[in-house]
Amino acid sequence: MARQTRERVPKQARELLRRLPRVDEVTAHACLQGARRRLGVAALTAQARAVLHELREAARAGRAPPDLDAVAALVAQAAGRALGRQVGRVINATGVLLHTGLGRAPLGAGAVQALAESAGRYVSLELELDTGGRGPRAGFAELALSRLSHAEDALVVNNNAAAVLLALAVLAAGRGVLVSRGELVEIGGGFRVPEVLARSGARLIEVGTTNRTRIEDYAQALGERDGVAAILRVHQANFRQIGFVERPPLAELCRLARQRGVVLVKDLGGGALVDLGSCGLPGEPTVAGCVEAGCDLVCFSCDKVLGGPQGGAIVGRAELVQRARRDPLARALRIGRLPLVALEATLASYLEGREDEVPALAALRRDLAEVRERAERWCRMLGERGVNAEPVEVAGAVGGGALAETPLGSVAAAVAADDIEAVAARLRAGRPAVIARIRAQRLLLDARTVLYDEDDPLIDAVVAAVGAATAPSPRPPRE
Ligand SMILES: *Cc1c(COP(=O)(O)O)cnc(C)c1O
């Protein structure tokens, strides 16, 4: 029986597959002349191959392929989409403050101004202006990070993945690194602790169990194994365990590492430079807290709760940071000049005690009453323009792996319309695009994550999207 079915399908499919046009017939089609000019033949051929691949899969499943003209039209569509995929401005109404898909932290006014002044100019990137000689690339940022985290030294790189990779490569290549089985996690975007560790050249030594790892497990592994260079402690980011769970306090693990002469590296994830407990969000460790607990090196991102541009940092003991700085890998992982300019301006805000200039922190600190008032104002503005909306309490998220178990209390304007999916699609297609969640057939516009000067473009976009979606049968004006 099974064999018969298997034979019958291919025969039928072969017939359908034969009807598919060849890739060169498609790319030569008249309707692709414009796309051929804009993309070049090689890239257009790749687009056509991708479309034909899907049609081939469909044919194998028994669906008849479209004719040449229709295939060419599909390729034209795909080429148009690819060309229109340039990164552009978005209004974040999702309720996730640090959304990796939306570029994580928006920059503050100081960082934007610094970029505006220097992006189109030459900059004193590696120049000592007083002597005219060669200077360090990220001297100010590294000094500021040391100061803010109470660490001896700091090194800035391209992102936190680079920071962890570099720290492990420098300290532990060819040697062992202890990691709790409960921390062998995938963070997202392909950052998997065991894979990054392997790529650094270090050898993973698993300790404890998935749910419980005790200090004795580390001590035993250190006693049994030769050539252990480090203990890696990983922030579990968006992963949570509940119930029968145990891991030693960070300070205790640091003490053990020191006693046994191995280095403790902490992958902190988002580098909180201030205590988020002050925003009613306790539980996220700060960089300074990790340094004070006794970590030799702490690695973190600059575009998560720190609120800066893409970047990564290694802070900690001067001798170890210096080894990382001198490693050839550091050159390959260095930060670009534009993010560096933005990072320095962001860190200057912290140094001067003006953290509220950092939009991510300001949004975290804004109290719920103010967020509610804003959502209510949006509902009034929408109502006046004929769009039905009401304020609802929602649970947002910090994002970026921070405080995964603490919902970020917020209020949204919940918009009702006939075809809510179509409204959301129109909002995504707009300029600027608006990204929002749909819950229970309503569009939720989160009043905590939309930036504070974006009320008007948001309301205009929603009015247009709802109006367009209901255009064929306009609703009577309300009130
Ligand atoms: C986000 C994160 C990373 C990766 O940081 P990038 O800056 O995105 O490279 C690594 N480890 C942890 C624990 C994280 O939360």
Confidence check: pLDDT of 474 > 50? no
Give, in degrees to the nearest 5, the angle at Cα 467 between 465 and 473. Answer: 135
Res. 340 pLDDT band, cuts 50 70 90: very high
Could you tell me if 432 and 103 are in contact, meaning their C-beta atoms sit under 8 angstroms apart?
no
Q: Which atom of ligand 1 is nearest to the CA of 312?
A: 7
Ranges of H-type helices in 215-302? 215-224, 250-260, 287-293
The residue ranking higher by pLDDT, 475 or 78, is: 78
Q: How far apart are CA 268 and CA 285, in angstroms?
A: 8
What CA–CA distances, in Å, run from 206 to 176, 218, 232? 10, 9, 10
233 lines ligand 1 (CB under 6 A): no
> Which residues have a Cβ under 8 Å from the Cβ of 88 and sit 6 or more positions away?
431, 432, 433
pLDDT mean over 434-456: 97
pLDDT at 187: 86
How far is the centre of ligand 1, averaged over its atoms, from the C-alpha of 132 (Å)?
37
396 lines ligand 1 (CB under 6 A): no
Q: Which of 187, 193, 235, 265 to mutate to test the pocket of ligand 1 (most atoms within 8 A of CB)?
A: 187
Residue closest to 170 by CA, chosen among 297, 295, 267, 260: 297
Q: How far apart are CA 175 and CA 256, in angstroms?
A: 18
With residue 93 as reference, give the H or E element that holds it: strand 90-93
The residue ranking higher by pLDDT, 424 or 15, is: 424
**Cα torsion for 153, 155, 159, 160, to the nearest 10°?**
-40
- What is the pTM for the complete model shown? 0.90
Q: At what angle do helices 160-172 and 318-326 cross, to 10 degrees?
A: 100
237 lines ligand 1 (CB under 6 A): yes
Res. 24 pLDDT band, cuts 50 70 90: very high
* Per-residue pLDDT tens over the stretch 290-330: 999 999 999 999 999 999 999 999 999 999 999 999 999 99
* Per-residue pLDDT tens over the stretch 209-242: 999 999 999 999 999 988 999 999 999 877 888 8
With residue 380 as reference, give the H or E element that holds it: helix 368-384
234 lines ligand 1 (CB under 6 A): yes
How far is the centre of ligand 1, averaged over its atoms, from the C-alpha of 301 (Å)?
6
Confidence check: pLDDT of 381 > 70? yes
200 lines ligand 1 (CB under 6 A): no
Taking each continuous run of H as one helix and of E as one strand, the counts in the chain are: 19, 13
Average pLDDT in the chain: 92
159 lines ligand 1 (CB under 6 A): yes
Q: Sign of the CA dihedral 369, 372, 378, 383? A: negative
R_g of the chain computed on alpha carbons: 27
The count of residues in the chain is: 479
Q: Which of 184, 265, 300, 301 to mutate to test the pocket of ligand 1 (most atoms within 8 A of CB)?
A: 301
Res. 479 pLDDT band, cuts 50 70 90: very low
Q: Which of 287-296, 302-311, 442-451, 461-470 has the lowest mean pLDDT?
A: 461-470
Name the residue at shortest CA distance from atom 7 of ligand 1: 160
* Per-residue pLDDT tens over the stretch 140-183: 999 999 999 999 999 999 999 999 999 999 999 999 999 999 99
187 lines ligand 1 (CB under 6 A): yes
* Per-residue pLDDT tens over the stretch 241-259: 888 999 999 999 999 999 9
User: Chain-centre distance of CA 162, in angstroms?
Assistant: 14
Confidence check: pLDDT of 362 > 70? yes
Query: Strand 176-180 relative to strand 96-98: parallel, antiparallel, unpaired?
Result: unpaired
Q: How far apart are CA 373 and CA 363, in angstroms?
A: 14
339 lines ligand 1 (CB under 6 A): no
